[in-house]
Amino acid sequence: MAERSDDDVTTEELPTRVPTVRTPSEASFHFEVEGVRYEAVRELEVRPNGERLLRAERRVADGVLSGPCLIRQLTSPSTYIQRKRLFEEVQLAFRLNHPNIAQVFHVQVDELEDAAYAIMEYVGGPSLETLVCAAVVRGQPLSEGFGLYLGAEVADALHYAHTLTSEKGTPLGIVHRDVNPRHIALGLHGEVKLLDFGSAYSLLVGREESPENLLRGDVAYASPEYLRKEGLTARSDVFSLGVLLVELLTGNHLFEVQDVPSVRANESPLRLESPSSLPLHQMQGLMESFGPDVVEKAVANLDGDIKAVLHIALRLNPMDRFETAADMRDALRGVAQSWPTGPYGRADAMKEAARVVSEGGKLRDQVEFGEAGFYPEGLEKHELDALKKG
């Protein structure tokens, strides 16, 4: 195993031991980390893999509230390898400091309490998954202006991560490899936040590699080369962002698996780390016939300039895509600059998100929302009202 780099974050730099996070009751519990008291407000979500998300408040000197945060209780690592990988993910998380990436403040692995958790930036607005689902329910996708704005902001965050270096100037080679609507959220002021680098690939010295047959992240947004377990580059995230933008702008996923014959499970050695929104073996089957005609069918009704950007992002051969996420960002912003309705920014995104959530929310009692949940429990009525008023 490679030696640990001097640039790596060590376990000694992590916060001291604190109690296990438990589901908050009417009397909220609290704990302290480095002089800041964290008081849980409510549980937001319990994920299929056992992870729990809790909203909390921070109190600093003299009991002053300094704003909300998110506590993410992770599945406890049961082996040395899993624990090592978690620490490696911590190393990546603490290096990421960009306005479009949700910040991680603290991470703790508590072996005595059999718990692991992260204290993270709380993004108060809806996830992109919520917005896309609400748009589908109301029968109208999000606007092209919204797509251009969000796509450029996410591409900027990805380019930052892709080009990040260590203190010695060594490229870290970070690839998010799980760019999907659940990992993008809109702040209360319309800012875009990319979340969760837990599945990220990196060249970080000493980083534990995923087993050859393991796929991390939601394969419904994965690049063709990743589904073939070939080399990952920044262009892989470019492809994923393209898939995401097609769904945002059309209300339909790029890939329709219903009538596609799947690669039989016993013919493929690959396995998923966690459940995917589309079946792995059918995704592999789709990639056998994927090409520009599939993209054109999906984006046929979009503006010509937007279609051109998506066609480049979604090329089968990585070398034919945008070379960097920054190139895709610039292409999206170039289209936006000449947009007939004028510039689109945070205020516009905030207003459109509020309208979509409100219009989709009126049909919540009439529509089957599905497993993903159109309106997560954390998005309460008063938050929707506040978003709409903004």
pLDDT confidence tier of residue 251, bands split at 50, 70 and 90: very high
Between CA 310 and CA 293 the distance in angstroms is 12
Residue 66: how many CB atoms within 10 A of its CB?
A: 11
Mean pLDDT within 48-67: 72
User: In 3-state terms, what secondary structure has residue 57?
Assistant: strand
Structural domains in the chain plus CATH codes: 11-121 (3.30.200.20), 128-337 (1.10.510.10)
Q: Where are the beta strands (DSSP E) in 28-174?
A: 30-33, 36-46, 52-59, 65-74, 104-110, 115-121
CB under 8 Å to 351, separation ≥6 — which residues?
390
pLDDT at 226 over 70: yes
pLDDT of residue 379: 42
Quick count: other Cβ atoms within 10 Å of Cβ 205? 16
**374 has pLDDT over 50:** no
For 31-42, what is each residue's pLDDT tens digit?
677 777 777 777
CA dist 315 and 242 (Å) reads: 10
What are the pLDDT digits (tens) for 297-343? Answer: 999 999 999 999 999 999 999 999 999 999 999 999 999 999 988 88
Nearest-angstrom CA–CA distance, 380 and 269: 43
Higher-confidence position of 352 and 61: 352
Has residue 209 got a pLDDT over 80?
A: no
Residue with tokens 């690839």: 175
> How far, in Å, CA of 208 to CA of 215, rounded?
14
Q: Measured between alpha carbons, how far is 3 from 23 in angstroms, rounded to an integer? A: 39
Place of tokens 């000449």: 338
Residue corresponding to tokens 């209360």? 188
Identity at 345, one-letter amino acid code: G
Distance in angstroms (rounded) separating the CA atoms of residues 64 and 62: 6
Distance CA 185, CA 66 (A): 21
Q: How confident is the model at residue 66 (pLDDT cuts 50, 70, 90)?
A: confident
Band (pLDDT 50/70/90 cuts) for residue 79 is low
Higher pLDDT, 70 or 203: 70
Q: How far is CA 121 from CA 4, 105, 244, 245, in A?
A: 28, 7, 23, 25
CB 202 within 8 A of CB 161: no
Share of the chain above pLDDT 90, in %: 33
Query: With 60 as the cut, is the pLDDT of residue 26 above it?
Result: no
What is the per-residue pLDDT for 56? 74
Tell which wins on pLDDT, 371 or 215: 215
Rounded-to-integer distance, Cα 379 and Cα 387, Å: 10
As a whole number, the mean pLDDT across the chain is 76
